[in-house]
Structure 1
């Protein structure tokens, strides 16, 4: 028998009362003597058990024992006077009661003196029992035995409660019986597995195993138990309702006083969530490794080919060749929507065929395929119903550059990881084409000048001109980092504040500011979204030359390179703004302006006095800070007044800015 069991039984056999209290001073344990003598029940409060006068003294000394952390004694009057020994254990207490009256004359005749509660029992007589088998009184136990018994009882109660309330499943299996049957389970084990104690006790714990339980983990457990050694494993177990869960099982042998293993204690923890997290992390790592390899290979090669290409056609041809040569693809082609025909026209294509026989059977582009239309219509990557083809729209900065279509040899080629690569590839190709088209318009000698008319009030400059009667003239825009736009308009024919108020009422204007107002003319700043009409034009490769609006009608002139797809811009604007019309398409030469020509043009605009004022200000350091020279000094060097000098300087600066901003 273990020490706690022996101590508990010894306390239960005591003829004198023993009571255990919790931190709220309610009874958590009483032996038979306490139940008989005081009618004590588990759960009773101290005040419900003893008379009020005794309760006050007991409560006072209970608090004292708790504060000191050591036993205290007190004498209280119950039916008879009792000496009470109070033993603290944290916030819990054990009370041992002993009558203090001397024994009657019928007691042991050989004992002439009053009973001594600390007297040792006769030699050979164990504490808590007489030689004739009757129960032992508390007065016949030694002080050491009493303290040990009550302390052990309290310790046992605490440990038993801790085990029952532990957040992990705890089992105890007998090592002295065949097949290690369970002799104890705690409440957490019942909650973890769904099995009640009556269905578990007496059985080996292997009933938790099932078809997906790892036999190697089971073998490791069995080998450790046979060798009487600790073991820790993780394996799939099954609850009573059949639900699988991952169980971390720790088993340790428990040895008796003789060193022999008497029991095995097991700790069982549900680690299902951790296992799921580990599997998810492994999947993410595998996906990341795949993407890195794919990006370094396919995307890296295609990007290199795109960077090296000089024209849009070269970009598209390089992309198709590289994709067609990449497993598992057998065909790649780029097509562009023909607005006039209402269909997609292939521009470049390549197949994986390497000889004449293969070439005869090689797949060909199918521009009428539903997946192609779906990609262009939604602006998103789409995979065909049979899984063999994917279409990736080529869009950049609101400009559409067609669609890239790849066809695979197997239907499972376009999983989510491959789609991530293809989306990145589509963005890279579209950005490269956009950069080439933008550069081409900047250096093109021959341009297409397109004039458009707008009447849709959703356009702020149209709505403001209609509302206020003002005439608006576009002066340029500045792009912010978030893609939004700040556009400047010169205003005439209406009060500037009225124009600002009318602009703020427009849905496409985030804010409006009156920058300057003089002589009936104003400069107003419009805060526009990223999809403003100027940005749309730029996304299609065009350059806004001018915008004007009066009486509810707006006019825009846009320059495109000779080979640009002007029709796609017109269709885009007509679909977004009602009443949009294409007024004119004019082909003209735009010779490049050299630095010398720029200087000559500016010099022609400046008067001698303006050019001199500008040159003296620049050379003299007038534009630096702090200024080494003043305007008065420069005016004196020119033999003119200070105000006249500043008038010439401002005029020169205005012409310089006009040549730079309007001449681009």
Structure 2
């Protein structure tokens, strides 16, 4: 080492820092003493490199920091302290070259110790001149270099602190951006610190303009005093404040907003400023303007966010949440820290929600998923979760955050719609069965079996009215059931059809409307509660089976869910009960046509509520009601044969009758005429079908009507007579008798039709039928083709076919002897 170099090295108070960094060590022709540098720079690891980067000297600080003894490391290259991927990239050589060419280089990064562990290093590399001085100001030519001086400090703890601060900043920014509302933060001097992307989108200001604005500049002038007071409250008095004011945009628009603000404090409790969430309340204010004007401040002290807010790290630990999270789950803050997200999810939903979390973290998706939240008390609440990934500035995934919203009401509406769809599907299936059924037993069996087999329902029971019961006091007995054990049917059926006194419910017989009983497992009625728990149902509907004023029975249906049989389901069931009643009644009427023994009742009536009696009395003639065709529930077509009155008199008479809306003369021969009239109002023929009876004949002479009514042997004749005399008071029963009727078989009907047809008419009808003349919408054969096949003229074919059809229909409708 030269004398000049030694003098500079030994000068502890020299003004040139480079002079104080020389060394006496001479390996590889490097004469700067590393021990002397160590004395001057006590908090560093110091080493010397030769011009190629090989280590030539090593101090104790380097040994302690990096772990190599000097004997072990001397001669190794500087790249030894880098990870393999960095060594392959050539970074160590580039750092040395930059140091040589620029005079010095500073670098931060991970370095590797002797034991393989990593530390975050802050290093300085300075080239050394041939005279041993440090060339930290100017670069050197390779031929002028003695080597390099390397100074290293361990900055791992500082790096970890900075990294943690960076992660916390990334989390806060992610929460900001996840908010659908505007989010803001101001310091105590009203400087705008932070805002989310909704702020420029809503206000119209640029990022640069926002940075220079104070909070009151966003507020309409008339609201600024109020908001200024609110800010002071947040900073000085209350930790949380909610206020409403008009937000003033850059283009002058005023938007009503609700601001939920909270104080920002440091760890020592020093107030740093305030932050909050602003929500557009235009629609709400439109609905509740009067209330908003009376109550300008809506207090929301504990929560600015109405939904649950959460954040998890990549290990699945809960790291951030709001108070609503605690309210929703029932857990306290001490129990929530570091809890896995799936802990709060019902077991049956955990797999699909776990898949959603994986997509968020790995693919960066913004995911919306539904699942049931499992509370501390075991309740399951349906929630919708909207979640997004949290990343730092470098793109490192830190976890995910999101918002959860209670969707219980929406799910209830969806379940109601699903039940309604299933109910309609059940009814459609039953309707098909009722059309094809031959007996009431078939209808009732199909109903209870369909309901009991469907998912939302547990059981179904049908009871029939006792024929001996009075009109005012019905008695029901269960006759058909499914999904329930026979020993329990009587108790379950009767307790809901005629509720016990302590239930405080109205009987089905009083309302004739669908009755529903819900949440039965928690019912205050002991027998209902016990039976519901034992047999696994939670709701019951009692459906009256009726046709107009007649009650045929009741359908009792049990369901699994506590909120089944909502209003729309009740409406459908009410209509279905009427459908069943009319189907049973129609079946009774249809069976009446094929009975060989019936009860025949004869009535005499002068009741002017009957259109035929009014017309006969006014025209002083005889009317025969041949047929009644119902168009609607209140409009009927009468086909009448009138004797003893001229057509003109009949026209005048029916024109003056308020019940007749239309009329038409069909045919007139001699003293008889055949009419079609449209009558609005009740018709006795329609009334009879409601009681399982049919009008056999009705003849009215000069205002006195003779009616012959046929009913099945098991019909309630007392109820039938009461129904007729109630509708037409001036009517009385004249006689009752049992009549034996021959039952016409299918073969008998065929023989009757064949006896009416001539040979040519039969051939025309058969050729038309089998030749496809009646096919629709496209005929397989037209009249010319069929006529040619028969070898007759087209007009002759039409004549034979029309007469044959008339005879066939006459036989079917019973107008031919």
**TM-score between both structures, scaled by the size of structure 2:** 0.42
Query: How many Å separate the matches in 1 of 2:477 and 2:511?
Result: 21
Structure-2 change in CA distance of 1:492 and 1:174 (3 Å): same
Deviations 1:495-540 (A, max 9, x none): 2233244334444433222222231221111213474222222333
The answer to which of 436-445 and 226-235 deviates more is 226-235
In structure 1, the partner of 2:474 is 344
Query: How many Å separate the matches in 2 of 1:656 and 1:363?
Result: 50
In structure 1, the partner of 2:205 is none
Query: How many Å separate the matches in 2 of 1:543 and 1:553?
Result: 20
- Contact 2:594/2:743 (<8 A) preserved: yes
Q: CA deviation at 1:279?
A: 9.7
Q: CA deviation at 1:470?
A: 1.8
| Counterpart selection for 2:189 from 177, 187, 191 | 177
Query: How many Å separate the matches in 1 of 2:469 and 2:739?
Result: 24
Query: How many Å separate the matches in 1 of 2:243 and 2:751?
Result: 93
Does residue 510 of structure 1 match 2:639? no
Structure-2 change in CA distance of 1:564 and 1:288 (3 Å): same
> What is the DSSP-based 3-state SS (H/G/I as helix, E as strand, rest coil) of the residue aligned with 1:490?
strand
Structure-2 change in CA distance of 1:484 and 1:173 (3 Å): same
Q: Give 1:125-140 correspondences, 5 Å limit.
A: none
Query: How many Å separate the matches in 1 of 2:549 and 2:659?
Result: 17
Q: Give 1:484-499 correspondences, 5 Å limit.
A: 484-499=635-650
Query: How many Å separate the matches in 2 of 1:491 and 1:221?
Result: 97
Query: How many Å separate the matches in 2 of 1:540 and 1:234?
Result: 64
Q: Give 1:136-215 correspondences, 5 Å limit.
A: 177-178=189-190, 182-184=215-217, 196-201=223-228, 203-204=230-231, 207-208=241-242
Query: How many Å separate the matches in 2 of 1:330 and 1:473?
Result: 48
**TM-score between both structures, scaled by the size of structure 1:** 0.50
In structure 1, the partner of 2:689 is 538
> What is the DSSP-based 3-state SS (H/G/I as helix, E as strand, rest coil) of the residue aligned with 1:546?
strand
Query: How many Å separate the matches in 2 of 1:303 and 1:603?
Result: 36
Structure 2: 5+ residue stretches without partners: 1-180, 193-213, 235-239, 245-258, 266-271, 286-290, 307-406, 519-523, 529-539, 774-781
Query: How many Å separate the matches in 1 of 2:561 and 2:611?
Result: 51
Query: How many Å separate the matches in 1 of 2:556 and 2:490?
Result: 20
- Contact 1:544/1:559 (<8 A) preserved: yes
In structure 1, the partner of 2:609 is 458
Structure-2 change in CA distance of 1:414 and 1:605 (3 Å): closer
Deviations 1:13-51 (A, max 9, x none): xxxxxxxxxxxxxxxxxxxxxxxxxxxxxxxxxxxxxxx
Query: How many Å separate the matches in 2 of 1:305 and 1:222?
Result: 71
> What is the DSSP-based 3-state SS (H/G/I as helix, E as strand, rest coil) of the residue aligned with 2:696?
strand
Structure 1: 5+ residue stretches without partners: 1-168, 191-195, 211-216, 250-277, 639-644
Query: How many Å separate the matches in 2 of 1:294 and 1:221?
Result: 55
Q: CA deviation at 1:220?
A: 12
Query: How many Å separate the matches in 2 of 1:478 and 1:307?
Result: 21
Query: How many Å separate the matches in 2 of 1:618 and 1:304?
Result: 32
Q: CA deviation at 1:490?
A: 0.7
Structure-2 change in CA distance of 1:549 and 1:383 (3 Å): farther
> What is the DSSP-based 3-state SS (H/G/I as helix, E as strand, rest coil) of the residue aligned with 1:572?
helix
> What is the DSSP-based 3-state SS (H/G/I as helix, E as strand, rest coil) of the residue aligned with 1:592?
coil
Structure-2 change in CA distance of 1:504 and 1:570 (3 Å): farther
- Contact 2:597/2:739 (<8 A) preserved: yes
In structure 1, the partner of 2:440 is 312
| Counterpart selection for 1:445 from 592, 596, 601 | 596
Q: Give 1:211-222 correspondences, 5 Å limit.
A: none
Q: CA deviation at 1:280?
A: 8.2
Structure-2 change in CA distance of 1:199 and 1:362 (3 Å): closer
In structure 1, the partner of 2:621 is 470
Structure-2 change in CA distance of 1:197 and 1:593 (3 Å): same
- Contact 1:616/1:634 (<8 A) preserved: no
Q: CA deviation at 1:566?
A: 3.8
In structure 1, the partner of 2:294 is 241
Structure-2 change in CA distance of 1:289 and 1:353 (3 Å): closer
> What is the DSSP-based 3-state SS (H/G/I as helix, E as strand, rest coil) of the residue aligned with 2:513?
coil
> What is the DSSP-based 3-state SS (H/G/I as helix, E as strand, rest coil) of the residue aligned with 1:401?
strand
Q: Give 1:14-29 correspondences, 5 Å limit.
A: none
Q: CA deviation at 1:552?
A: 1.4
